[in-house]
């Protein structure tokens, strides 16, 4: 069973921050797919939904970002699954605002959630749907930037990207990683809207 983990921080004050865009993708997927089962453990919340003909776990870690690895390890133990079945969705300062990219063998960079996960699992080869939040020049420190809310102008850019990221996750599950990477990584960002429509037509967004 595939497990989609949206990275973020717990607490109402973090809900709309740049660092919690992964949680927003999970919320979108919960709203768009039939929930079979939901649960809550000490370190995470989960929902099992149907994606196409498959059952998929949706997960929000309840640890703070820099301890995400502990939650992911517990998820794998409880689901009795291997790391190969994980898909992570998260913000990425290395990508321009609104860009989206699927990667499978890239290091964690400076993202504290990914650093925790790589340290806990002992591997770098994790499937990730990366959502760009970067700017050419940050107005504040990296930490303050990711923990602040999107501006109204940025929100107009990021809201549709949340839906695109959900479609990308579904493509990974239904089409396979290579085809999903070809669809979402090979075209200019402006054509990703067309790919989202194709996903819906093919049944991946039902």
- Among residues 18, 19, 112, 130, the one annotated as catalytic is 19
**Are the CB atoms for 96 and 132 separated by under 8 Å?**
yes
Q: Which helix (H) or strand (E) holds 36?
A: strand 35-40
Establish whether 111 is a catalytic residue. no
19 three-state secondary structure: helix
The answer to whether the beta carbons of residues 48 and 56 sit under 8 Å apart is yes
| 15 sits in which H/E element | none
| 34 secondary structure, DSSP code | -
Q: Nearest Cα to 72, choosing from 92, 10, 83, 124? A: 83
What is the rounded distance in angstroms from the CA atom of residue 109 to the CA atom of residue 88? Answer: 15
Nearest to 21 by CA among 93, 69, 70: 93
Q: What is the 3-state secondary structure (H, E, C) of 86-144?
A: EEEEEEEEEEECCCEEEECCCCCCCCHHHHHHHHHHCCCCCEEEEEEEECCCCCCCHHH
Q: Which residues are catalytic?
A: 19
């Amino acid at each position: 069973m595939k497990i989609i983990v949206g990275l973020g921080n717990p607490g109402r004050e973090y809900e709309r921050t740049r660092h919690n865009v992964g949680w927003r993708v999970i919320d979108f997927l919960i709203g768009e797919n039939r929930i079979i089962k939901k649960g809550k453990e000490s370190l995470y919340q989960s929902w099992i939904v149907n994606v196409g003909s498959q059952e998929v776990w949706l997960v929000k870690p309840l640890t703070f970002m820099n301890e995400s690895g502990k939650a992911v390890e517990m998820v794998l133990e409880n689901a009795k699954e291997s790391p190969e079945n994980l898909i992570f969705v998260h913000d990425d300062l290395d990508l321009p605002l609104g860009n989206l990219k699927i990667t499978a063998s890239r290091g964690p960079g400076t993202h504290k959630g990914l650093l925790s996960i790589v340290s806990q699992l002992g591997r770098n080869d994790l499937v990730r749907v990366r959502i760009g939040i970067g700017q050419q020049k940050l107005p504040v420190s990296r930490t303050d930037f990711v923990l602040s809310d999107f501006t109204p102008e940025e929100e107009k850019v990021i809201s549709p990207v949340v839906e695109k990221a959900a479609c990308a996750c579904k493509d990974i599950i239904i089409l396979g990683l290579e085809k999903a990477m070809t669809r979402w990584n090979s075209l200019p960002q402006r054509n990703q809207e067309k790919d989202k429509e194709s996903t819906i037509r093919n049944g991946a967004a039902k």
